[in-house]
């Protein structure tokens, strides 16, 4: 019955509303044993609203507790490869980097996210930028894609890109054993 009550909380209304997703995220955060019922809703066969809100709730619940996702790694990687629903894509782009992935899994996830850069939705692309930076921070091709999107994307993509590039630059400097220069770019000499 609990699984059905989570689904009921997620249903109703339109895709323009998160409905009770925050309530469900809080519920599964307090009761991690219920997370599996939320994950099942990602594959709801008949309701894109339920799938969208389940993805939203799962993404929010795992911000502080990434370990909730790990038992569902293979299922989530499969969903990553097959979903075309834009709301699912942007939430998966945020969640997949939270998984403990081996090298082949990471390469597959990066390759899938890169194909999503052609998605017509700028929100999807913005989340993909973040996901790629989280999954492959030292990959020159990823950095180049983020640089291009930072120059050519929507205002949200450009803003996210600037933050990601600064973070990637700081990681590179720290990896090289130097102290990062945290001054704004336009004040550096």
Domains in the chain: ranges and CATH: 1-68 (no CATH), 73-177 (1.25.40)
Distance between CA atoms of 117 and 79, rounded to whole angstroms? 17
Q: What is the mean pLDDT of residues 124-137?
A: 94
Q: Which two tokens stand for residue 112?
A: 């899938």
Instruction: Report pLDDT for 169.
Output: 86
pLDDT at 128 over 50: yes
Residue 71 DSSP SS3: helix
Q: Which residues does 116 contact at the CB level (< 8 Å), separation at least 6?
A: 89, 93, 124, 125, 128
The pLDDT-based confidence of 181 (bands split at 50, 70, 90) is low
Instruction: Report pLDDT for 170.
Output: 82
Instruction: Report pLDDT for 188.
Output: 46
Q: Single out the residue of 140, 139, 141, 165 nearest to residue 151, CA to CA.
A: 165
Contact 10, 49 (CB under 8 A): yes
The pLDDT-based confidence of 1 (bands split at 50, 70, 90) is very low
Distance between CA atoms of 32 and 133, rounded to whole angstroms? 28
Instruction: Please indicate whether residue 157 or residue 186 has the higher confidence score (pLDDT).
Output: 157
Instruction: Report pLDDT for 2.
Output: 57
Q: Which two tokens stand for residue 39?
A: 């994950």
Q: Single out the residue of 4, 58, 9, 2 nearest to residue 29, CA to CA.
A: 58
């Amino acid at each position: 019955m609990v699984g059905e009550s989570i689904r009921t909380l997620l249903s109703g209304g339109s895709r323009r509303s998160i409905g009770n997703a925050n309530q469900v995220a809080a519920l599964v955060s307090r009761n991690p044993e219920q997370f599996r019922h939320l994950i099942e809703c990602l594959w709801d066969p008949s309701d894109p609203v339920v799938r969208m809100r389940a993805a939203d709730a799962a993404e929010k619940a795992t911000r502080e507790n990434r370990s909730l996702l790990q038992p569902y790694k293979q299922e989530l990687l499969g969903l990553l490869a097959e979903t075309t629903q834009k709301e699912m894509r942007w939430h998966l782009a945020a969640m997949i980097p939270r998984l403990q992935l081996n090298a082949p899994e990471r390469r597959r996830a990066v390759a899938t996210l890169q194909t999503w850069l052609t998605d017509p939705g700028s929100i999807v692309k913005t989340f993909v930028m973040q996901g790629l930076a989280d999954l492959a921070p030292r990959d020159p091709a990823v950095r180049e894609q983020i640089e291009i999107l930072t120059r050519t994307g929507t205002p949200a993509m450009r803003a996210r890109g600037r933050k990601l590039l600064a973070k990637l630059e700081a990681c590179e400097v720290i990896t090289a054993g130097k102290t990062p220069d945290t001054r704004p770019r336009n004040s550096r000499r």
